[in-house]
Amino acid sequence: MKKITTTLLLIFLFSISVNGQNNYDELWLEVEKFEVDGLPKSALKIVDEIYEKAANASNSPNIIKSLFYKSKFALTLEKDAQLKVIKPVVHLNNIDF
Is residue 1 a part of any domain in this protein?
no
Is residue 18 a part of any domain in this protein?
no
How confident is the model at residue 76, as a pLDDT? 82
Numbers of helices and strands, H then E, in the chain: 4, 0
Q: For 2-34, how does the pLDDT look when each residue is reduced to its tens digit (9 = 90+)?
A: 667 666 555 655 555 544 556 899 999 999 999
**Is the CB of residue 48 less than 8 Å from the CB of residue 83?**
no
How confident is the model at residue 78, as a pLDDT? 76
Mean pLDDT throughout 42-49?
A: 94
Is residue 14 a part of any domain in this protein?
no
Is residue 6 a part of any domain in this protein?
no
Is residue 34 a part of any domain in this protein?
yes
Using CB atoms within 10 A of its CB, is residue 82 exposed (0-12), middle (13-18) or buried (19+)?
exposed
Residue 85, pLDDT above cutoff 70: no
Structural domains of the chain, count: 1
**DSSP state, residue 96:** -
Is residue 64 a part of any domain in this protein?
yes
Domain limits at 69?
Answer: 23-94
Residue 91, pLDDT above cutoff 90: no
How confident is the model at residue 18, as a pLDDT? 46
Q: For 47-82, how does the pLDDT look when each residue is reduced to its tens digit (9 = 90+)?
A: 999 999 999 999 999 999 999 998 888 888 777 666
CA distances from 89 to 27, 38, 68 (A): 21, 26, 9
Using CB atoms within 10 A of its CB, is residue 63 exposed (0-12), middle (13-18) or buried (19+)?
buried
* Dist. CA 72–CA 52, nearest whole Å: 17
